[in-house]
Structure formats: structure tokens, C-alpha cells
């Protein structure tokens, strides 16, 4: 089956249980860890205890087409995301064994060093509302969870549209800045060092002036 050609999505068994601004329930998944060439486990509780951000990158399946291009792009940005204090976890409904073979055979995956998590029952995919019960696959969902366990960013693409990891970095940079500066807001295309906004009556109707 080619998920990119699948045009019907049955989300009835995949209610969205976590929305932006809500606290994410704990979850645990088995993993393949490329840096250790071994299996392991990842849990949100452990990441939170370490004071880290969590980035979940759901993708449809190993051994498909758009997926390795996305994960290679993510690998190119992994070092910066790590510097920002994020644990990156790529997730599909494949097993940890499939992850291992795919990581070690697909040329585009050779630089992937972040965790590859297995969600074969679709439990975590359902939690984030990206599980397609008609195929047993996950849509291309990207979620950022802050160190307190709150979901702060959500993005979901259809099967046939790949994501941009540079934009994920920009969102992480903005979220990290705003966690340290909660009275500010980041305008469109904000990058570190650029001007932020301080919402209040003085800039109502004059956002242009506030950005000068």
C-alpha cells in the first residue's frame, strides 16, 4: 500500500485527546537508539525529569518515500534542536525492529542519531489525533511539549506533503525565548535577536510602530 495515494482518513477511533495549551499525559514507547545501535525506551516523564523539551515527529511508515527525506532533513537540524534543550523522538506505528533495519539500510537515514520510537498499537498516535484507523498509520504530525509537560505547538500534514525542519527550529527558538520571557510575543518569522512584541493597550492598532 502506498499511503501517499490514500485519500480517505478514518479518524473515528483517533479522538484528539491533547490540544495546544493542555498538559500531555505520560506515555512510554519502545525505541531503536541509533547512537547506541540498540533498543531502549522513551517516556515523557523521564524527559520532563531531565528538564528537557520534547519534540515528537510522527510519520506514516518505514520503507516509504517522503518519510526518509523528512527524517534526513530533521537530522540536519538535530544538533541545533539539542542545543535548545530538546529531545527529538520520531514515531511511527512500525516496530523497533523495522526501525533498526530501515535506519541501517536506507542511505538517507545514515545521519539520523535521534530516537526512533515504535507505536505499533497506535496508542500514542491516537493521543495526538494523528492515527488513521483505515491504514494503521500516523499522519505527519509534529508536536512540541515544554519541560513542564504542556503542548505548545501542533502541526499536522497529509501523507503526501513533507515538512521543513528549519521551521521547526524557528518554532523551538521562539518557544524557548517565550518560556524565559512570558510577557513577550513573537511576531511572524521571528528569529533570535529580532524584536518581540509586548501585548498591551499601547500597541493596539499600532503593531507596526511597536516593531520599528
Residue 42, pLDDT above cutoff 70: yes
In this model, does residue 31 exceed pLDDT 80? yes
Residue 169 is placed in which grid cell? 527550529
As a whole number, mean pLDDT of residues 9-20 equals 61
To the question of domain 3-163 being in CATH 3.40.47.10, the answer is: no
Tens digits of per-residue pLDDT, 99-157? 999 999 999 999 999 999 999 999 999 999 999 999 999 999 999 999 999 999 999 99
pLDDT tens for 50-108 read 999 999 999 999 999 999 999 999 999 999 999 999 999 999 999 999 999 999 999 99
Q: How large is the greatest C-alpha to C-alpha distance in the chain, in angstroms?
A: 58
CB 129 within 8 A of CB 17: yes
* Predicted local distance difference test score (pLDDT) of residue 8: 43
Q: What is the pLDDT of residue 181?
A: 96
Q: What are phi and psi of 45, to 5 degrees?
A: -60, -45
Instruction: State how far the Cα of 30 lies from the Cα of 28, in Å rounded to an integer.
Output: 7
> Residue 184 and residue 200: Cα distance in Å, rounded?
10
Choose, from 47, 67, 117, 144, the residue flagged as catalytic.
67
pLDDT at residue number 15? 53
Active site residue 67: yes
- How far lies 192's CA from each of 10, 16, 75, 171, 175, in Å? 40, 32, 21, 11, 11
SS3 81: helix
Domain ranges of the chain: 3-163
- Cβ atoms of 139 and 158 within 8 Å: the answer is yes
Q: Is the pLDDT of residue 13 over 70?
A: no
Q: Within a 13 Å sphere around the CA of 124, how many CA atoms are in the beta-carbon half?
A: 26
Contact 139, 133 (CB under 8 A): no
Decide if 90 contacts 125 (C-beta within 8 A): no
pLDDT at 11: 43
Q: At 134, give phi and psi (nearest 5°).
A: -70, -25
Amino acid at each position: 500500500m502506498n499511503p501517499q495515494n490514500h485519500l480517505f482518513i478514518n479518524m473515528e477511533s483517533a479522538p484528539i485527546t491533547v490540544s495546544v495549551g493542555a498538559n500531555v499525559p505520560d506515555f512510554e514507547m519502545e525505541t531503536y537508539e541509533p547512537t547506541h545501535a540498540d533498543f531502549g525506551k522513551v517516556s515523557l516523564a523521564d524527559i520532563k525529569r531531565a528538564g528537557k523539551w520534547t519534540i515528537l515527529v510522527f510519520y506514516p511508515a518505514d520503507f516509504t518515500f517522503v518519510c526518509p527525506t523528512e527524517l534526513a532533513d530533521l537530522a540536519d537540524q538535530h544538533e541545533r534542536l539539542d542545543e535548545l534543550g530538546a529531545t527529538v523522538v520520531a514515531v511511527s506505528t512500525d516496530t523497533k525492529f523495522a526501525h533498526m533495519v530501515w535506519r541501517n539500510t536506507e542511505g538517507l537515514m545514515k545521519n539520523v542519531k535521534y530516537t526512533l520510537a515504535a507505536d505499533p498499537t497506535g496508542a500514542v498516535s491516537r493521543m495526538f489525533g494523528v492515527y488513521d484507523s483505515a491504514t494503521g498509520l500516523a499522519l505527519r504530525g509534529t508536536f512540541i511539549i515544554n519541560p513542564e509537560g504542556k503542548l505548545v505547538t501542533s502541526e499536522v500534514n497529509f501523507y503526501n506533503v513533507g515538512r521543513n525542519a528549519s521551521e521547526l527550529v524557528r518554532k523551538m527558538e521562539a518557544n524557548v525565548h517565550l518560556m524565559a520571557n512570558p510577557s513577550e510575543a513573537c511576531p511572524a518569522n521571528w528569529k533570535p535577536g529580532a524584536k518581540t512584541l509586548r501585548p498591551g493597550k499601547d500597541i493596539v492598532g499600532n503593531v507596526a510602530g511597536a516593531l520599528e
